[in-house]
Amino acid sequence: MGKPTGFLEFTREIPVDLDPRDRIRNWQEFHLPMPEDKLKTQGSRCMDCGIPFCHSGTLISGMASGCPIHNLIPEFNDLVYRGLWREALDRLHKTNNFPEFTGRVCPAPCEGSCVLGMNNPPVTIKTIEQSIVDRGWEEGWIVPRIPSSRTGKKVAVIGSGPAGLAAADQLNQAGHMVTVFERADRPGGLLMYGIPNMKLEKQKVVQRRLNLLMQEGISFRCNTEVGRDITAQQLRSEFDAVVICTGATKPRDLSVPGRDLEGVHFAMEYLTSNTKAVLNESHPEIHAGGQDVVIVGGGDTGTDCVGTSIRHGCRSVVQLEIMGKPPTERAPNNPWPEWPKVYKMDYGQEEAAAMFGDDPRTYTTTVTHFEGEDGKLAAVHTVQVKWGKNDQGQFGPHPVAGTEARLPAQRVLLAMGFLGPEQMLLDELELDRDNRSNISASPKDYSTSLPGVFAAGDCRRGQSLVVWAINEGRGAARACDCFLMGRSDLPA
């Protein structure tokens, strides 16, 4: 695909970002678009590799390898190289309902498994994907696709995150009448409130797609929590099928002394508060301006907390990670095409380094307790850990004597991941669950223990990537369509 010798002639390029000191002044996206000629050149680097692992979408060592929604990556790379942008958009939409989302927030496991990446920097797949769909919007190629006929069947989708939106989109295109129930005041779930605006703009990107889905016939009922504002049994009686896409929203807590002090928050509380304020042009309920901030946990959520705290004007920011610092190159036990577990500076760490002089992350460190004054957080006490086996042969972190430290802090943000879905709705439906408290549903047909009730996304598989959620939403939609109609023309 692409130019046969492109990977030999051209080097990898990615979009230029605004300088960290400039971009932290607002909540706008900071990746600058690449010129068309450069995008064509990057597309030409895609090799005729024979077996393109980039769209394999498998799990290796528990991590995604290749694109979970099986984007036809070599094909759209070749089309961009040849200047056939409209055709590239059509290829992209065959597998991906929302490439403007994944092109911005996906960590790009496709690039981690790119064959060229075995001994050279991989193809800039993520940048090309976003550029294709952004051009599609700019050129007016993306327009409402209103189904020509309706089946008369009604489907309720619970949750409007990426899995719920993908399921709703597919089911609507199959001709069913779809209603999406969302407990927040706006649809979008994680896309709306869990990811900061500078990473995924709400009005320009998320709301634009939501408006299109509404024009195509999907109904959204916000401020409606199933199990509280409307019973799950009501939905089952009023709709022909139900698809549960509530996500894994139960956060992992930190049970140490002082946890109840004022100033200690879950990361999602903080990020949601901030996005609501950005959308309403108001002051967020939880603000880090002028404060010493400690973020417990890494990953994308931790990085988002770093970037948000800096934009609030924090006095300092420290990010604690219990794991060790990754190597700068793949370790022998992390071979291609596994996801590369290597050290990198994400946007939040880049901004912290620009403001405070260094990467804010402190590795192999955990919290022992929080210190307070008059009920308010004053400091975080930490200790370094060493990973190894205990007397019972269990592998885990062990505190290292003499490494205790005290960090001044008036704001702590817990970004340690999620334990699974909230249980109230699941209890009401008496759904079977797995040993991690997720909904027990077959990965083949997404069916739960109740006939006509399906589950997809993080509430079924556990905390994962946006691209996996889209994959699951599409799969559940096909299974639901088969249940309703006896067959389905939706893609497998």
Mean pLDDT over 131-137 rounds to 98
Percentage of residues in the chain having pLDDT higher than 90: 96
**Apex 393 CA angle, 391 and 396, nearest 5:** 95
Mean pLDDT over 100-122 rounds to 96
What are the φ and ψ backbone dihedral angles of 394, each rounded to 5 degrees? -90, 135
Phi-psi region of 281 (alpha: psi -120 to 50; beta: other; left: phi over 0): left
Token pair listed for 443? 């990965």
pLDDT of 253 reads 97
Q: What is the DSSP letter of 439?
A: B
pLDDT of 280 reads 95
The pTM of the full predicted model, rounded to 2 decimals, is: 0.96
Closest CA to 106 of 46, 169, 64: 64
pLDDT of 53 reads 95
- Number of alpha helices (DSSP H) and beta strands (DSSP E) in the chain: 17, 18
pLDDT of 77 reads 96
What are the φ and ψ backbone dihedral angles of 248, each rounded to 5 degrees? -110, 85
| Residue 466 half-sphere exposure toward CB, CA atoms < 13 A | 27
Question: Token match 């896309």: residue?
Answer: 191
Token pair listed for 397? 């972190």
Q: What string of DSSP letters covers 254-306?
A: --STTTTSBTEEEHHHHHHHHHHHHHHTS--SS--TT-EEEEE--HHHHHHHH
The whole-chain average pLDDT of the chain stands at 96
Tell me the C-alpha to C-alpha distance, in Å, between residue 454 and each of 135, 240, 484: 35, 12, 12
Query: How far is the C-alpha of 478 from the C-alpha of 167, rounded, in Å?
Result: 8
pLDDT class of 392 with cuts at 50, 70, 90: confident
Query: How far is the C-alpha of 337 from the C-alpha of 119, rounded, in Å?
Result: 12
**Apex 200 CA angle, 10 and 55, nearest 5:** 50
pLDDT of 359 reads 97
Interstrand relation of 376-389 and 395-399 (parallel, antiparallel or unpaired): antiparallel
Indicate if the pLDDT at residue 457 is higher than 70: yes
Token pair listed for 69? 């929604």
Are the beta carbons of 320 and 343 closer than 8 angstroms? no
Peptide bond into 408 cis (omega under 30): no
pLDDT of 71 reads 96
Are the beta carbons of 12 and 124 closer than 8 angstroms? yes
Indicate if the pLDDT at residue 48 is higher than 90: no
Mean pLDDT over 327-342 rounds to 95
Mean pLDDT over 414-421 rounds to 96
pLDDT of 118 reads 93
Indicate if the pLDDT at residue 285 is higher than 80: yes
Token pair listed for 143? 């327009």
pLDDT of 85 reads 98
Are the beta carbons of 340 and 355 closer than 8 angstroms? no
Q: What string of DSSP letters covers 387-430?
A: EEE-TTS-EEEEE-TT--EEEE-SEEEE---EEE--SHHHHHHT
pLDDT class of 265 with cuts at 50, 70, 90: very high
Query: How far is the C-alpha of 285 from the C-alpha of 140, rounded, in Å?
Result: 38
Closest CA to 437 of 454, 469, 457, 461: 461
Tell me the C-alpha to C-alpha distance, in Å, between residue 247 and each of 85, 159, 466, 468: 34, 8, 11, 12
Domains by residue range for the chain, with CATH:
6-139 (1.10.1060.10), 154-249+419-485 (3.50.50.60), 253-416 (3.50.50.60)
pLDDT of 492 reads 73
pLDDT of 1 reads 62
pLDDT of 393 reads 86
pLDDT of 443 reads 87
Are the beta carbons of 379 and 409 closer than 8 angstroms? yes
